Structure 1
């Protein structure tokens, strides 16, 4: 996916010392959560991004030129076992998730505009129970995953009424099954 990297971030890419942070925005049922990979909070885009530091990890973000779904996963560890039920009921499959790469100045302020590395949806969570804490890993999938899923919609009047209740144009579609049309010269 082509990315627009602003000039301030381009300068950081060629500098001798680079400090980076990953910013993750995930929509849950109750709220949108903003977290960063730093051990301190960051401010960007009108939001405070909660610093979770080593409590979170990110798998490799892959992409390529072939037509296939690429995904990644985010893992949050150290969750109190008493919060497991609440954590799982708040996860919304298909909710949006965006991952950004940000560059930091020596005072730990974000330089320029962070670059979106991944944009997609939340998929199935996996849970790893521990003695004192639980680890939840969320799979994040790109929009290309829809190519692997069957479509449940049909070209019928009933299906058209779901999105457009006053549209009656599809009532004629069944009659087209038995209509012989000739194309070209007669």
Structure 2
């Protein structure tokens, strides 16, 4: 971050705002936590949420125990509730990225956005308060499947369930920590 570091070395104030890129199945949405649109160095336009959007703390562990950060949007029109509830195919397993964008006191951008989290959207929920609603998107890290049991997806039963009659995974459990002798022709 040469511009940010140079500004700090000159004694200038450097601030950071969070940018969130949500890659839904039908479209990509870019939002930031200030008001109004923001154009970054790569030409992307990010919509401002102001006080309506919140991001929970980001756990920096390799495999966080609580999944990933939670994104919340308050004050949503209740007319969007039905659309959001039917959007599981739009959300589940789709990429989400959170960036820090540095800027100075005059809101001049310093450097390009710096990615601080990359993960997948897990599920979307809604809390209806009558005249407005709150939409919450939970995320997981890219390594969230590391906690699954060994052979959780690659075993004979799973293979036969996906492809009836296929015995290609029958020998996997026998071959773990083993040396297979190849035939000599």
**Normalised-by-shorter TM-score class:** 0.7 to 0.9
Among candidates 43, 47, 56, match of residue 50 of structure 1 = 47
Distance 1:62 1:39 in 2: 26
Shift of 1:77: 0.7
**Measured at CA, do residues 49 and 73 of structure 1 come closer, stay the same or move farther in structure 2, by a change above 3 Å?**
same
2:23 is matched with 27
Per-residue displacement from partner, 1:87-120 (whole Å, max 9, x unpaired)? Answer: 2333411100000000123442321122111110
Is residue 38 of structure 1 aligned with residue 34 of structure 2? yes
Q: Distance in 2 between matches of 1:130 and 1:172?
A: 53
What residue in structure 2 maps to residue 10 of structure 1? 5
Q: Which residue of 2 aligns with 1:130?
A: 129
Distance 1:16 1:171 in 2: 61
Counterparts of residues 165-176 of structure 1 (less than 5 Å)? 170=168
SS at match of 1:97: strand
Distance 1:182 1:19 in 2: 59
Aligned to 1:115: 114
SS of the residue 1:64 aligns to: coil
Determine helix, strand or coil for the equivalent of 1:46: coil
**What is the aligned residue count?**
168
Unaligned runs of 5+ in 1: 1-5, 163-167
Q: Aligned partners of 1:182 and 1:11: how far apart in 2?
A: 59
Change (3 A) 1:53 1:10: same
Per-residue deviation, 1:30: 1.7
In terms of mean alpha carbon deviation, does 35-44 or 67-76 score higher?
Answer: 67-76
Check conservation: 1:79, 1:135, Cα contact below 8 A.
yes
Q: Distance in 1 between matches of 2:7 and 2:100?
A: 12
Matched-pair contact (CA < 8 Å) for 1:41–1:48: yes
**Counterpart secondary structure, 1:20:** strand
TM-score, length-scaled by structure 1: 0.74
- 1:73 aligned onto 2:81: no
Given the two structures, how large is their TM-score scaled by the length of structure 2? 0.74
Q: Any idea what SS the aligned residue of 2:115 has?
A: strand
Q: Is the 8 A contact 1:37 1:54 kept in 2?
A: yes
